[in-house]
């Protein structure tokens, strides 16, 4: 087997890109305080993993950073253009794949924009399919395309590969690595998978007791195993 893959050079984030600054973020459900003063910074274009036990508040934090939680309090400075991918793809079953990708967008050439984003996740051929005909991995790739089409400065991923089988997950991780290299949004990846954090992120944070309890740099040089040519070649054979 010969390695024919060319490693994609890592682009720099756009000079105008904004990062994330969160200070003293709090959120309680009844008398249960889930977030008790979270401070969080992401540089533009930085890939950060957020680890934590189940129930530690990772999704609560991600929803707050996404601007989806009106009851969280604290200082929140996040880019306008942000996109979220959840563990469940949340595609609307009654509208075709490409329309799901551009849902809520207005303007011209929506189909062309959808096709371009679908191309990036390898699913342009399924543009006119119904979501119910897609596999789990394909659905998540469509959800990624729906995020990409918004050219996010901040991409929020909440255990996006948690429900996928191991090989499909490997493929999806490789895809996210390549998309990040190409577009360089800041990424906050929620995961409880330490290996995934090491594979993809520059830095990992651990959420515990309602705060960022620990932080470590992932000082493994790129290319990481996930975008190593051998891996890519293997992935192509298996998937």
Residue 233 C-beta: closest distance to ligand ADP, Å = 35
Q: Which stretch binds ligand ADP (CB under 6 A): 54-62, 89-97, 105-113, 194-202?
A: 54-62
Is 210 a binder of ligand ADP (CB under 6 A)?
Answer: no
Residue 62 or 123: the one with the smaller Cβ distance to Mg ion is 62
| Interaction of residue 160 with ligand ADP, rule CB under 6 A | no
CB under 6 A: which stretch of 13-21, 53-61, 132-140, 163-171 binds ligand ADP?
A: 53-61
9/55 with CB nearer ligand ADP: 55
Which residue's CB atom is positioned nearest to Mg ion? 59
Interface pick for ligand ADP out of 49, 60, 184, 226 (rule CB under 6 A) = 60
Binding-site member from 56, 139, 140, 191 for ligand ADP (CB under 6 A): 56
Region for residue 24 given its phi and psi (left: phi exceeds 0; alpha: psi -120 to 50; beta: otherwise): left
Q: If binding is defined by CB under 6 A, does position 191 make contact with ligand ADP?
A: no
Q: In terms of CB distance, is 60 or 100 closer to Mg ion?
A: 60
**Interface with ligand ADP, residue 29, by CB under 6 A:** yes
- Contact residues: ligand ADP, CB under 6 A: 29, 34, 52, 54-60
């Amino acid at each position: 087997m010969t390695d024919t893959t060319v490693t994609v050079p890592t682009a720099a984030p756009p000079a105008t890109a904004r990062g994330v600054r969160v200070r003293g973020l709090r959120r309680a459900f009844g008398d249960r305080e889930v977030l008790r003063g979270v401070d969080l910074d992401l540089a533009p274009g930085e890939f950060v993993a957020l680890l934590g036990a189940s129930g530690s508040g990772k999704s609560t934090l991600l929803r707050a950073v996404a601007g989806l939680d009106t009851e969280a309090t604290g200082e929140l400075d996040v880019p306008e253009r942000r996109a979220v991918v959840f563990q469940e793809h949340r595609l609307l079953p009654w509208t075709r794949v490409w329309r799901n990708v551009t849902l809520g967008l207005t303007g011209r050439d929506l189909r062309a924009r959808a096709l371009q984003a679908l191309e990036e996740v390898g699913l342009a051929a399924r543009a006119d399919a119904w979501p119910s005909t897609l596999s789990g991995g394909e659905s998540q790739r469509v959800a990624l395309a729906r995020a990409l089409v918004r050219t996010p400065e901040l991409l929020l991923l909440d255990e996006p590969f948690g429900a996928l089988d191991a090989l499909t997950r490997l493929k999806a991780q490789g895809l996210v690595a390549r998309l990040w290299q190409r577009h360089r949004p800041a990424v906050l990846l929620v995961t409880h998978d330490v290996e995934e954090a090491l594979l993809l992120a520059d830095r990992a944070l651990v959420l515990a007791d309602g705060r960022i309890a620990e932080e470590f740099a992932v000082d493994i040089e790129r290319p990481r195993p996930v975008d190593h040519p051998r891996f890519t070649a293997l992935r192509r054979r298996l998937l």
